[in-house]
């Protein structure tokens, strides 16, 4: 039997449907370069950068993609959200020492407040986000 598919197919990033939903249904921007991150964080308020990681290898990624809108709803929109593109996620994880994915990185404008790495119990999300929101900008 012959496999007619070429061996050197170009790799294309196909978003998991639940991550794509964050953009399509909730309007979260997808940040693909450091300038886009800087522009997003420069806006007033508290921001959450969702670093999904590889949804094919990490089953928690899709769970986090479902949790994030619910978390934002629980906090009545006290923060806005963006999805970090895989092209820059490694740099951001390293920069903020949030090495495990999925990760939620919280900022008050450009001031880093903290991160929630991996999927957690709901009560842990509530406690951590409450703490982040209580922090004042330096």
Using an 8 Å Cβ cutoff, are 38 and 81 in contact? no
Residue 73: how many CA atoms within 13 Å on its side-chain side?
6
> Tell me, what's the pLDDT at 15?
85
Q: What is the pLDDT of residue 13?
A: 58
Task: Answer yes or no: is pLDDT of 77 > 90.
Answer: yes
The CATH-assigned architecture of domain 17-134 is: 3-Layer(aba) Sandwich (3.40)
For the chain, the structural domain boundaries read 17-134
What's the whole-model pTM score?
Answer: 0.87
Distance CA 131, CA 89 (A): 24
Q: Is the pLDDT of residue 113 over 80?
A: yes
Please determine, for residue 94, whether its predicted confidence score (pLDDT) is greater than 70. yes
Condensed to tens digits (0 to 9), the pLDDT of residues 1-23 reads 444 444 443 444 578 999 999 99
């Amino acid at each position: 039997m012959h496999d007619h598919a070429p061996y050197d197919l170009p790799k294309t990033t196909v978003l998991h449907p639940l991550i794509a939903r964050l953009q399509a249904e909730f309007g979260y921007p997808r940040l693909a370069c450091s300038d886009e991150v800087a522009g997003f964080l420069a806006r007033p308020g508290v921001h959450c950068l969702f670093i999904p990681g590889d949804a094919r290898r990490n089953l928690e990624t899709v769970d986090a993609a479902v949790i994030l809108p619910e978390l934002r709803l629980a906090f009545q929109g006290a923060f806005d959200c963006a999805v970090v593109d895989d092209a820059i996620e490694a740099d951001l994880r390293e920069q903020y020492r949030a090495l495990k994915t999925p990760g939620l990185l919280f900022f008050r404008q450009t001031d880093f407040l903290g991160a929630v790495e991996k999927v957690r119990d709901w009560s842990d999300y509530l406690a951590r986000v409450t703490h982040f929101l209580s922090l004042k900008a330096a």
